[in-house]
Amino acid sequence: MIRGRYMRRHTNGNNVRSGVSPNHPMFGRYLSTVGFPPAQTVYYNWRHCYQPGHLRWTQPSHLQHRLSSFSTVRHLSSRTPRPPDPYRWTSWSQTGIMAHTQPRRGLQLSAGRMDNSNSKPPKKRKRSSDRRQAGEEYQYSPKRSPPKGSRIPKGSPQWLHNETCTPVPPGKFPSSPKEYPSTPELKRHWEDLSHLCTAAPYVNGGRQKWPFDFSVMSYNILSQDLLRDNTYLYRHCHPPVLDWRHRYPNIIKELEKHSADIMCLQEVQEDHYTQQIKPSLESLGYHCEYKWRTGLKPDGCAVVFRRERFSLVSCHPVEYFQRGIPLLDRDNVGLIVLLRPIDPHCSLTNICVANTHLLYNPRRGDIKLAQLAMLLAEISRVAQLPDSKVCPVLLCGDFNSVPWSPLYQFIRDSRLEYDGLTIGKVSGQEENPRGQRILSVPVWPRSLGISQQCQYESQTTDSDLRDLEQPKPDGFTKASIEHCLKLTSAYSHYLKESGQPEITTCHSRTAITVDYIFYSAALGDVMVQAVFFFVYPECSVPPEKGLQLLGRLSLVGEDELQKVNGLPNQHNSSDHLPLLTRFRLHPQTEQKHLRVS
Ligand code: KL2
């Protein structure tokens, strides 16, 4: 049985689905950003923190992992200076959609971050799939405890450390919700940003063109196997709410309630996906794609979309495990789909949707960056248009990194200068990380076939392999990495009302944001309007490339989560909250494209 699971997992190559040809509509020019210096990175202040140290995590030996084949010649895009930072408070004070308090940057999430300065690295989880039996959907295991040597982290939510719940023996779950205390429902409201959008339906060539609006969700649904492997994180929960038989209907209800047009799900356990989630979502009108993690891990990433709204152009699973590259020895994955919007009235560009769940280990920012580089290289290839630009991109998932961390900044600023940055600081998950090793230059080896601009290097041939022996090209000696996508986060990461940090994941050891929906913002998008109006004040032409954020389901802060006993709870059945956004895509026009440079 294990063998069967294993074999299936590795048959899913990074190949374009046969029988469907990519659509390559021509585009106008992408907003090229001009005139401003790069956003300042916080890690510069950390370069004095280096102490000699090393951390080696052992990984069980893996069976067969395919090497990805890099077969296309990719074009490196030249760097352009960055626009004003849309997250800068001054850019926002006039918009009326943000709190009237300036958010604290950098340390603002410290309250929720882990401080493990005196704790040992968590031990590698033991797999529990072999323990899984029919009917044993949750077993409260008082024996299973935090990794040895660890203590309650200083910054973790103290209100979740009361182990007040009485363990319930396996198979003895209360059948009625009345048998455990009822918790209030978390209040989340829709933040409508459409009035701040510059774009309305418009007339082109005598015909009215309507935009294509659609919603996107990113949600880590918490795999039951991982829940069971880390029960110490959920001691604050009433055991019945951790039972998959309670969680599954809740999760499906939540997905159905929001009925997003595109959903990027993480921690989707394979057996639950096959037997329950996929059939349920298909019956609700969704097409489902799935990528199982490598190395016998129980879960994976799913991208699902409404069949009536999109058709699948191609699907591209991404395995971060690379045999022969010691840095890439973890089993995390990504999944990219190229979708064609279905609209009877006008032609629309394809959109590229990427979903991932990056490595958790807070101390291995080097691995996280290399995984991200692999995903970005594949997105750049998949989203490539004939005019050497890229189609609109949505990058969703659980990045196991906090807002304004170096990894986050790399995504958002398209660039990271990492000279002197320690690997434990990359994700910002821990306030005092123990990983003191400094990121090596380059972060990932050239043998991966991915440039420091996160593009595939030309097709690997014998002569390329000989080239690898040659002196390193410039990119591989500088402590900086780049990518060619221009991505904006759909959330602001702090609450409008209180200025408190938004929380996307919460259990007894942490309450932070690690989930994101990044997107290619169009001209006039609410998150980049400050840039747009500054650069093109006279411009009223509707945006042609990229997406406009119309609204989002508000997140909550630690206070609100405290009132509902944290996550998971009676109503929210994961230790993450779903992110939900609505976007507008404009039809292509024949009119002259904006000259932006
Ligand atoms: O943080 V997560 O939860 O995005 O919600 O991603 C990982 C963690 C997930 C997949 O590896 O499993 C959880 N301590 C706490 N959580 C852990 C640990 C650990 N040592 N290992 C895995 N996870």
Average pLDDT over residues 416-429: 97
State both tokens at 400.
């196991």
For atom 20 of ligand 1, the residue with the nearest CA is 122
Ligand 1 atom closest to 509 (CA) = 15
Ligand 1 centroid to Cα of residue 360, in Å, is: 5
**Between residues 49 and 352, the one the model is more confident about:** 352
d(CA 581, CA 262): 10
Q: Best of 123, 144, 226, 293 to mutate for ligand 1, by most ligand atoms within 8 A of CB?
A: 226
Per-residue model confidence (pLDDT) at position 198:
62
What DSSP state is assigned to residue 421?
Answer: -
Per-residue model confidence (pLDDT) at position 527:
86
For atom 23 of ligand 1, the residue with the nearest CA is 360
Instruction: Give the C-alpha distances (Å, rounded to integers) separating 322 from 293, 295, 296, 319.
Output: 13, 12, 15, 8
Task: Report how far apart the first and last C-alpha atoms of the chain are (Å, whole number).
Answer: 59
Alpha helices (H) along 137-275: 224-229, 239-242, 244-258, 270-272
Q: Are strands 480-482 and 515-520 parallel, antiparallel or unpaired?
A: unpaired
Question: Tens of pLDDT along 368-400?
Answer: 999 999 999 999 999 999 988 899 999 999 999
Average pLDDT over all residues of the chain: 74
Tracing tokens 């200076």 back to the chain, one arrives at 81
What DSSP state is assigned to residue 207?
Answer: E
SS3 44: helix
pLDDT band at 537 (very low <50, low <70, confident <90, very high): very low
Ligand 1 atom closest to 398 (CA) = 4
Sketch out the chain's domains with CATH numbers. Answer: 1-133 (no CATH), 218-430+485-585 (3.60.10.10)
Ligand 1 centroid to Cα of residue 546, in Å, is: 33
Close Cβ partners of 490 (under 8 Å, ≥ 6 residues apart): 516, 517, 518, 519, 527, 549, 552, 579, 581
Ligand 1 atom closest to 122 (CA) = 20
Indicate whether 428 pLDDT > 60.
yes
Ligand 1 atom closest to 400 (CA) = 4
Total length of the chain: 597
d(CA 450, CA 380): 12
Supply the pTM of this predicted model.
0.75
Ligand 1 centroid to Cα of residue 133, in Å, is: 22
Per-residue model confidence (pLDDT) at position 476:
76
Ligand 1 atom closest to 266 (CA) = 4
d(CA 179, CA 570): 12
d(CA 191, CA 554): 6
Indicate whether 314 pLDDT > 60.
yes
Of the candidates 316, 310, 258, the one whose C-alpha atom is nearest the C-alpha of residue 286 is 310
pLDDT band at 506 (very low <50, low <70, confident <90, very high): very high
pLDDT band at 31 (very low <50, low <70, confident <90, very high): very low
Question: Tens of pLDDT along 449-475?
Answer: 999 999 999 744 455 455 555 555 556
Per-residue model confidence (pLDDT) at position 196:
81
Q: Best of 125, 225, 330, 360 to mutate for ligand 1, by most ligand atoms within 8 A of CB?
A: 360
Close Cβ partners of 282 (under 8 Å, ≥ 6 residues apart): 288
Per-residue model confidence (pLDDT) at position 159:
64
Ligand 1-lining residues (CB < 6 angstroms): 122, 125, 220, 226, 230, 233, 360, 398, 400, 505, 514, 575
Average pLDDT over residues 186-211: 74
ω into 326 cis (within 30 of 0): no
Indicate whether 132 pLDDT > 70.
no
Question: Tens of pLDDT along 58-85?
Answer: 222 332 343 333 222 223 333 333 333 3
For atom 19 of ligand 1, the residue with the nearest CA is 122
Indicate whether 120 pLDDT > 50.
no
d(CA 29, CA 97): 29
**Between residues 118 and 431, the one the model is more confident about:** 431
d(CA 66, CA 16): 16
Indicate whether 12 pLDDT > 50.
no
**Between residues 92 and 149, the one the model is more confident about:** 149
pLDDT band at 422 (very low <50, low <70, confident <90, very high): very high
